[in-house]
């Protein structure tokens, strides 16, 4: 009966892929141990990302985390300033128009300059602009116009930018007065002493 070819084909069809003990050991290894090793590897990869950023390779770890030096370094890194405040002296002397021109305006309004910008001492280009008046020219300089970016809020005060405008316009034929800070108010005593004389009734 075992010599029957139909019986042998059926018997081979019912046998599994494991035919000896070596194959059984490999099947057990890949079924149980390999997934455990993969899980341990994934956990160690995920946990390694939770290490504080300030720890260098050579830092020793304490029982509860990082050393004091590494922790201080990390805190200092998080607290470092992202900006700065510059305090200027309001009573400092104003920069001259020529100084502001050379620092901020010469790239566009200087000798080679850029097309469309009135160049220094070019009376033909400055003529129509001078006709608009100083206030308009100053507004265009501070807020920008066309391709010219705003010049206000930079290294110079608005009044100093105004001095540069006057410097360039006067070199182009204008007769604008050089702007200056308003005069300081008179002392309180002088003002109070002059008030009664001004308000005395006429006889």
pLDDT score, position 39? 93
CA 195 to each of CA 105, 184, 186, 201: distance values in angstroms, whole numbers, following the listed order: 46, 18, 12, 12
**Nearest partner of 106 among 45, 167, 181, 22, judged by Cα:** 167
With a cut of 60, say whether residue 178 has pLDDT above it. Answer: yes
pLDDT tens digit string along 137-168?
Answer: 888 888 888 878 887 767 788 888 888 889 88
CA 114 – CA 120 distance, rounded (Å): 12
CA 119 – CA 116 distance, rounded (Å): 9
The chain-wide mean pLDDT, for the chain, equals: 75
CA 56 – CA 40 distance, rounded (Å): 24
Tokens of 127: 């003529």
Give the CB-side neighbour count of residue 23, counting CA atoms within 13 A. 5
Better-scored residue on pLDDT, 143 or 8:
143
Place 173 in a pLDDT band, splitting at 50, 70 and 90: confident
DSSP 8-class letter at 112: S
Structure-derived torsion over alpha carbons of residues 103, 105, 106, 108, reported in degrees to the nearest 10? 140
With a cut of 60, say whether residue 102 has pLDDT above it. Answer: yes
With a cut of 50, say whether residue 203 has pLDDT above it. Answer: no
Residue 145 φ/ψ, nearest 5 degrees: -155, 130
CA 100 – CA 92 distance, rounded (Å): 15
**Nearest partner of 118 among 141, 90, 150, judged by Cα:** 141
Q: Is 89 helix (H, G, I), strand (E, B) or coil?
A: coil
> Cβ-count burial of 105 within 10 angstroms (0-12 exposed, 13-18 middle, 19+ buried)?
buried
């Amino acid at each position: 009966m075992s010599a029957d070819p139909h019986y042998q084909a059926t018997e081979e069809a019912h046998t599994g892929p494991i035919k000896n003990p070596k194959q059984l050991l490999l099947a057990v290894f890949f079924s149980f141990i390999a997934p455990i090793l993969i899980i341990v590897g994934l956990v160690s990869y995920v946990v390694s990302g939770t290490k504080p950023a300030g720890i260098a390779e050579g830092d020793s770890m304490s029982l509860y985390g990082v050393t004091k030096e590494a922790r201080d370094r990390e805190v200092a890194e998080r607290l470092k300033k992202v900006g700065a405040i510059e305090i200027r002296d309001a009573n400092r002397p104003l920069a001259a128009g020529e100084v502001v021109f050379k620092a901020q305006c010469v790239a566009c309004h200087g000798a080679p300059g850029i097309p469309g910008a009135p160049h220094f001492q070019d009376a033909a280009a400055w003529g129509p602009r001078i006709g608009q008046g100083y206030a308009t020219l100053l507004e265009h300089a501070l807020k920008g116009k066309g391709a010219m970016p705003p010049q206000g809020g930079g290294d110079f005060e608005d009044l100093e930018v105004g001095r540069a405008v006057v410097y360039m316009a006067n070199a182009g034929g204008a007769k604008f007065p050089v702007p200056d800070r308003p005069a300081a108010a008179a002392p309180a005593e002088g003002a109070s002493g002059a008030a009664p004389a001004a308000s005395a009734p006429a006889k």
